[in-house]
Amino acid sequence: METKPRKVLIADDEPDILEILKYNLSNEGYEVVTAKDGDEALEKARRNQPDLVILDVMMPKKTGVEVCQLLRAQPAFKETLIIFLTAVNDEGTQIKGLETGADDYVSKPISPKVFLSRVNALFRRLNKTEARILTIDHLTIDPERFIIKVGEAEIILAKKEFELLYLLALKPGRVFLRNEILNQVWGNDVIVGDRTIDVHIRKIRQKLGIDCITTVKGVGYKFEL
């Protein structure tokens, strides 16, 4: 399952800040791009389409607020997260920043750890609205649309079949005991015959046309391409 790394663009004219933030965000698994002034920030934002933009308010060329406004004006950046970063702890600027469409406003000096938590908090909320789309090789499972894609072909699975496949595909390679599968998909109180799972597995294999579910005899099933 691919969870592509979140892309973050940091724009600040102080190299130290850039360095510290980049170091911390990278460690946390984010992909980091940096810019040292407003114009460069705009340029790199366009090219990299980051998920989060961190803007210093006081920057050469263009201020963070200006950059923010320009970004928000473009449809591609309507949804992008934006955090302002500033030494200026002045109310007016802060309010203006937030009203321009920023999602957070952090005052320097910043504690890297606190900053990280804030970033994570923002992404956490964003995540929920997003679908948890699984992509394994050329197989795509989209629970939001209830669609399976093998290559370009769209395949419709029934509810139970979908849930079963999704469960297995969540942890590729991991073997699920028949009991686990029953609990997860059917619920721990429902009692069904022993052949039920096999039949569903078969239907999935049949509909997908590819062999992605492996039987582990005497144990259970696992997803594998």
Residues interacting with a copy of itself, by CB under 8 A? 78-79, 91, 94-95, 98-99, 101-105, 111, 113-114, 117-118, 120-121, 124-126, 128, 131, 144-147, 158-159, 173-175, 216-219, 222
User: What's the token pair of residue 26?
Assistant: 């990278």
Q: Is 163 helix (H, G, I), strand (E, B) or coil?
A: helix
Cβ burial of 186 (10 Å; 0-12, 13-18, 19+) is middle
Closest to a copy of itself by CB, 63 vs 94, is 94
How are beta strands 104-107 and 213-216 bridged, if at all?
A: unpaired
Radius of gyration of the chain measured on its C-alpha atoms: 23
CB of 95 to a copy of itself, least distance (A): 5
Q: Which residues inside 201-220 make contact with DNA, applying CB under 7 A?
A: 201-202, 205, 215, 217-220
**Shortest separation between residue 216's beta carbon and a copy of itself, angstroms:** 5
Q: How far is the CB of 191 from DNA (least distance, A)?
A: 7
Q: Which two tokens stand for residue 3?
A: 């969870």
101 binds, among a copy of itself, DNA, none (CB under 5 to 8 A by kind): a copy of itself
Structure-block tokens of residue 115? 């900053």
The binder of 99, among DNA, a copy of itself, none, by C-beta within 5 to 8 A per type, is a copy of itself
d(CA 141, CA 42): 34
CB of 100 to DNA, least distance (A): 36
Q: Taking CB under 7 A as the rule, does residue 16 contact DNA?
A: no
Q: For DNA, give the closer residue by CB, 35 or 141.
A: 141
The site that binds DNA (CB under 7 A) totals a number of residues, namely 25
Taking the C-alpha atoms of residue 178 and residue 159, their distance in angstroms, rounded to an integer, is 18
Structure tokens at 221: 């099933």
